[in-house]
């Protein structure tokens, strides 16, 4: 037994080196795209007499997270129209990490949030690569990471927000599901549930995959060049581990929501009352549809309405393409729930692109197409889109409304 343990310990560094070599192009490409975005933001902000770092760390939601990190929950703002903005709307994992970062080093809570976001964005990029590589191969994995970095709202990945942290936890939870690591999948889903309300999507993916893993494997070859959907290996046959993953997955989100209900006296649904104070709710997309329809009242806003309609159609097409390419159930459930919650919420409409940021499996069909493109042409495409994305991110973050 000692011999086996020694051998196992010796192979771990070697396995890590192999994994790093495999993911290196994706991480280097991701870092280059994000560095360009930060450089353009710094130049644009300086030209307008603003601090890029302040925009990244001390505006909008970043302020709420830092306030929770510094003083705990209990702060609220009552607006003239009677709405109450309570910090209980913000889930606790990012503030906990900000407090930890400030405690162990010479960082403010905002600084710690920025560091967490940068590190989490790299972890998210690696997780996205791991899932895409498993499903479609290394080249598609690199392309998926680049596409995630190139999103018009990609600048949020570098802000002291919770999107990068959530995406990292979600991506690695999905990877654990796809490779049969049920305890890891459940633990990461639990942490994702402590990060954002949409942690429900990760728990749903774990549950869906765990339940269907009881069925015999009848996978057929996937169309469009995708690999057949992998099923969990030997661990799928271990009911105790699968059950443990299922039990762990919803505990983070459920625990925080129940705690908020107890604190506010609103019972199990008390968190919904907190969200209502922010004018957030779920109406099946009615408010968003009215918002888009309202854009068609005159020629100029009608262009925005057409753009929004085309954007929603593209998202639905990407999801349908993922279904046709036989993506595994876990990423399909995850991206489906994230997309539904983003598009069907009655919240601030300008934030919807940011709310869709964690739905990275939607990018896999595009990643497959880019992976089949010649290297030189793909490089020109990525470079051009990276510049446009960087300019858009700088314009957007220097605007008046929160992202």
Higher-scoring residue by pLDDT: 82, 253: 253
Q: Is the pLDDT of residue 120 over 90?
A: yes
Tell me how far apart the alpha carbons of residues 360 and 135 are, in angstroms, rounded to a whole number: 13
pLDDT digits (tens, 9 = 90+) for 323-361: 999 999 999 999 999 999 999 887 766 788 899 999 999
> Contact 225/193 with Cβ under 8 angstroms?
no
In the 8-state DSSP scheme, what is residue 283? -
Tell me how far apart the alpha carbons of residues 188 and 347 are, in angstroms, rounded to a whole number: 27
> Contact 328/209 with Cβ under 8 angstroms?
yes
pLDDT number for residue 224? 52
In the 8-state DSSP scheme, what is residue 77? E
Buried b vs exposed e over 170-195: b needs ≥16 C-beta within 10 Å? bbbbbbbbbbbbbbbbbbbbbbbbbb
- With a pLDDT cut of 90, the percent of the chain lying above it is 71
pLDDT number for residue 252? 97
Tell me how far apart the alpha carbons of residues 388 and 392 are, in angstroms, rounded to a whole number: 6
Q: Is the pLDDT of residue 225 over 90?
A: no
Residue 153 is encoded by which pair of tokens?
């709202």
pLDDT digits (tens, 9 = 90+) for 240-281: 899 999 999 999 999 999 999 999 998 888 999 999 898 887
- With a pLDDT cut of 70, the percent of the chain lying above it is 87
Higher-scoring residue by pLDDT: 40, 14: 40
pLDDT number for residue 365? 97
**335, 25, 384, 388: CA torsion to nearest 10:** 50
Phi, psi of 256 (to 5 degrees): -70, -45
- Of the given ranges (10-24, 104-118, 215-229), which has the lowest mean pLDDT? 215-229
Q: Is the pLDDT of residue 219 over 60?
A: no
pLDDT number for residue 213? 83
C-alpha closest to that of 145 among 167, 170, 172, 126: 126
Q: Is the pLDDT of residue 220 over 60?
A: no
Pick from 252-261, 285-294, 306-315 the range whose average pLDDT is largest: 252-261
């Amino acid at each position: 037994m000692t011999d086996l343990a020694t051998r196992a310990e010796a192979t771990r560094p070697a396995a890590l080196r192999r994994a790093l070599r495999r993911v290196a192009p994706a991480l280097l490409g991701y870092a280059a795209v994000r560095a360009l975005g930060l450089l353009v933001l710094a130049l644009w902000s300086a030209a307008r007499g603003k601090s890029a770092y302040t925009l990244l760390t001390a505006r909008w939601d970043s302020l709420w997270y830092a306030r929770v990190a510094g003083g705990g929950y209990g702060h609220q703002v009552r607006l003239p129209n009677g709405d109450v903005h309570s910090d209980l709307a913000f889930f606790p994992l990012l503030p906990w990490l900000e407090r930890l970062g400030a405690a162990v080093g010479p960082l403010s809570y905002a600084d710690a949030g920025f560091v967490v976001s940068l590190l989490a964005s790299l972890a998210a990029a690696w997780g996205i690569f791991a899932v895409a590589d498993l499903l479609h191969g290394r080249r598609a994995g690199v392309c998926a990471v680049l596409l995630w970095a190139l999103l018009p709202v990609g600048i949020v990945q570098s802000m002291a927000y919770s999107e990068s942290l959530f995406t990292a936890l979600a991506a690695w939870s999905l990877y654990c599901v796809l490779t049969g690591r049920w305890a890891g999948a459940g633990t990461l889903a639990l942490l994702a549930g402590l990060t954002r309300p949409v942690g429900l999507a990760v728990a749903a993916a774990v549950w869906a995959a765990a339940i269907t893993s009881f069925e015999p494997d009848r996978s057929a070859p996937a169309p469009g060049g995708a690999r057949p959907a992998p099923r969990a290996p030997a661990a799928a046959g271990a009911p105790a581990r699968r059950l443990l993953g299922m039990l762990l997955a919803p505990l983070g989100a459920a625990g925080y929501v129940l705690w908020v209900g107890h604190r506010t006296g609103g019972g199990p649904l008390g968190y919904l009352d907190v969200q209502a104070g922010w004018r957030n709710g779920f109406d099946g997309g009615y408010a968003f549809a009215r918002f888009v329809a309202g854009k068609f009242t005159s020629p100029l806003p009608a262009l925005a309405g057409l753009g929004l309609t085309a954007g929603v159609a593209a998202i639905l097409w990407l999801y349908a393409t993922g279904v046709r390419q036989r993506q595994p159930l876990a990423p399909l459930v995850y991206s489906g729930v994230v997309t539904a919650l983003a598009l069907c919420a009655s919240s601030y409409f300008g934030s919807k692109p940011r709310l869709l940021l964690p739905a990275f499996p939607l990018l896999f069909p595009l990643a497959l197409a880019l992976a089949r493109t010649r290297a030189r042409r793909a490089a020109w495409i990525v470079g051009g889109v990276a510049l446009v994305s960087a300019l858009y991110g700088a314009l957007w973050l220097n605007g008046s409304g929160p992202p």
